[in-house]
A and B are shown apart, each in its own frame.
Chain A
C-alpha cells in the first residue's frame, strides 16, 4: 500500500483543482444528472454519470466550486469511470468512511486518499463530499 505524504496529497489536490479534466458538460445525451449545492451559498455543481449495462462508462461535472470540491469530484470521476455499479458504490462508501474517520478499505481509493485529513477541517467535509453524494444519489437505485 502506497503511503501518501502531505506533499504528495497537496500535489494531487492542486493538480485536480488547477486542471480538472472531468469538469465539463457531458459530450452527448444519456447521462444522468444530479444538481448539488452547499448551504453556505457557493458550491453549485451538476454531476453527470453515464451508466450503460450496469457499468459507469463515463463521469463528469460542471459548475462553481472551491478547490476541495473541485478536486475531490474530479478524482471521483476518474475513479468511477469503467467500474460496475456495485464496485462504484463500494468505492463511494469507502470514501465516506475515510472522511468520517471510520474504518475503510484504502485499496480502492487511489488518489482520493489525499482527502484523508478532511475531518480536521469540519467546515470542509461538505466540500470534500458534495460530488460523491451526487454520484451516490444517482447510483442508489441501480
Chain B
C-alpha cells in the first residue's frame, strides 16, 4: 500500500497553500474532476516547450517524433485497460466517446422499433445521445429496472432484454450512487441476444482495475481528467471489428486515405479514421503520464484506499441522525447524502464556507430523482490522495451542523 501523505506531495493543488473562504482546501469532488500530479503537468509542458509539432506521419524529425509519442501514449492506455493498441481512439473525453458510439455506430445500424437499454441513474452523456438516436432512427429507449439500492443487476437486465434490443449502454460505476455493476455477466446476456454493450467507464476506469477483454464489453468510454490526467482528452475503446464497421462522425485531415470529386472518401483504418483534425497532443502526452502514475501506485491499492475512506465515512456519519445516506452499500469512492431538512445546495454552500468542496444537485443524472426519492443530493467523492483527515473534516463539519446562513454572514 502506498503512503498517501507522500503521494500528496506530487500534487501542486495539495501543497497546503490552497484555500477556500480563507480555510485550508478540503477537496471532495473527485467524481467531478481530479487534481494533477507534477509529472502530468510537466509532460504537458514538455509538448509546448520541446516537442511542439503536429502529428500524422510527417516528413521531418519533429513530426516523426510526435507520431511516435502519440503511438506510445496509445499503447500505454491500451495496456492500462487491456485492449489492443488499434482499439483505442482518442477523443475529447467520455462525453465525446459516448456520442461517437451513438452517432457513428447506433445511427448507422439501428432501425425503427429497435431498442436501446439504459437506466435512470445514467449521466446526461449516456442518455441524451440516445434520445437523439431514437429521434433520428425511430428506435426506442427502455429503462432497466433497478433493485432496491438503485443498482442494475444482471437479472433485471435479462428481464428487459429481447430480440429487439440492439444496444445496452450503462455505467460500470454510477456517478451518483457509485455502485459497481457486474458488467461481465451482463455482457454475456447482451451478446446472447446479439446486441452490443457500451460501458461508460468515467467513474470506474479511474478507480477500479478495468480489463476490457475480460469484461468482454463492446465499447468502453472514459476521460483522463477524472484520473489525474488533463482535461479535454479521453478515449473510446472499441472492439476492432465494430470500430471498423461504424462510421467516422468527423471528416477532415488525418482520417482519410483519399477522397474524390465524385463524393467518395476512403477512410483510414481505426483508430485514425475517428481522429480527424489536429489532436490534443499535449493532452495525449499528459494522459500517458497519468496512467503510468496510476499504475505505479497500483489500481488495486487505489481502489482499496477509496473503499477504506468510504467505509470510514459511512461508519461515522451513520451515527449522525441528521444525515441520510443514499448509497451506504456501494463501497466505492462516492458518498451521496443529505442533511435532513436542508436543501443540498445550501449544505454545499455551508461546507464551502468551511473550506470543503463537495457537489450538490443532481450531478447531471436528472432522471435519478425517482430512484433516490429526492430532488437533489450532496456528493462527496474521494480519490487516491484523499486522507482520513479530509473525511474527518467532512464528518466534523456535518456533526457541527450550523445554520445554513452562516456561510452568508461571516
> What residues of chain A have their CB less than 8 Å away from a CB belonging to chain B?
6, 9-10, 13-14, 40-43, 64-68, 117-118, 120-121, 123-124, 127
Inside 8 A of B346's CB, which chain A residues have their CB? Answer: 66-68
Can you pick out 12 interface pairs between chain A and chain B where the beta carbons lie within 8 Å of each other? A10-B403, A10-B408, A13-B408, A40-B361, A42-B361, A66-B343, A66-B349, A68-B346, A68-B408, A121-B352, A123-B349, A124-B408
> Given A41-B361, A42-B344, is A64 in contact with B405 using a C-beta cutoff of 8 Å?
no
Output the least CB separation between A129 and chain B (Å).
14
The one of B345, B362, B376, B409 that contacts A10, using a Cβ cutoff of 8 Å: B409
Asked if A117 and B408 sit within 8 Å, CB to CB, the answer is yes
Chain B positions within 8 Å of A13 at CB level: 405, 408
Interface flags for B349-380 (1: CB within 8 Å of A; 0: not) read: 10011000000111110100000000110000
Shortest Cβ-Cβ A-B pairs, 6 listed: A41-B361, A66-B345, A42-B361, A67-B346, A6-B409, A66-B343
The answer to the question of B242 belonging to the interface, with a C-beta cut-off of 8 Å to chain A, is: no
- CB proximity of B31 to chain A, nearest CB, Å: 14
Query: B325 contacts the other chain (Cβ, under 8 Å)?
Result: no
> CB within 8 A of B405: which of A10, A40, A42, A65?
A10
Q: Are A9 and B409 in contact (CB under 8 A)?
A: yes
Q: Is B404 among interface residues, defined by CB-CB distance under 8 A?
A: yes
A41/B349 in contact, CB under 8 A: no
CB-defined contacts of A121 to chain B, threshold 8 Å: 349, 352-353, 407-408
Q: How far is the CA of A14 from the CA of B405 in the complex (A)?
A: 8
Q: Is the interface of A mostly helix, strand, loop or mixed?
A: helix
Contacts of A9 in B (CB 8 A): 409
Determine the chain B residues whose CB is within 8 A of the CB of A66 once the complex forms. 343, 345-346, 349
Q: What are the residues of chain A within 8 A of B404 when measuring CB–CB?
A: 67
Residues of B within 8 A of A10 (CB): 403, 405, 408-409
Binding site for A on B (CB under 8 A): 343-346, 349, 352-353, 360-364, 366, 375-376, 403-405, 407-409
Q: Give complex CA distance A40, B358 in Å.
A: 13
- Nearest CB of chain A from residue B355's CB, rounded to whole Å: 14
In the complex, A117→B21 CA distance in Å? 14
B409 touches A41 (CB 8 A): no
By a CB distance below 8 angstroms, the chain B residues around A117 are 408-409
- A41-B405 CB under 8 A given contacts A121-B349, A124-B349: no
- Across-interface contacts of A42 in B (CB, < 8 A): 343-345, 360-362, 375-376
Instruction: Write the chain B residue with the least CB distance to A67.
Output: B346
- Whether B376 pairs with A67 at a CB distance below 8 angstroms is no
Known: A41-B362, A42-B344, A123-B349. A64 touches B409 (CB 8 A): no
Q: Which residues of A contact B407 (CB under 8 A)?
A: 121
Contacts of A68 in B (CB 8 A): 346, 408
Which residue of the partner chain B has the closest CB to A118?
Answer: B408
- B349:A64 contact, CB within 8 angstroms: no
CA distance A116 to B172 in the complex (A): 46
A9–B349 alpha-carbon span in the complex (Å): 18
Question: Which of B345, B363, B366 gathers most chain A CB within 10 Å?
Answer: B345
Residue of A nearest to B404 (CB): A67
Contact B405 A127 (CB under 8 A): no
Candidates A41, A118, A120; contact of B376 at CB < 8 Å:
A41
Complex: how many Å from CA A9 to CA B408?
10
- The chain B residue sitting closest to A65, CB to CB, is B343
Which residue on A lies nearest to B409, using beta carbons?
Answer: A6
The smallest C-beta distance from B378 to any residue of chain A, in angstroms, reads 11
Alpha-carbon separation in the docked complex, A40 to B366 (Å): 12
List 8 additional A-B contacts (Cβ < 8 Å) besides A41-B363, A66-B345, A121-B349: A9-B409, A14-B405, A41-B362, A42-B360, A42-B362, A43-B345, A66-B343, A67-B343
Q: Which residues on the B side are within 8 Å of A67 (C-beta)? A: 343, 346, 404-405
Residue of chain A at shortest CB distance from B405 = A10
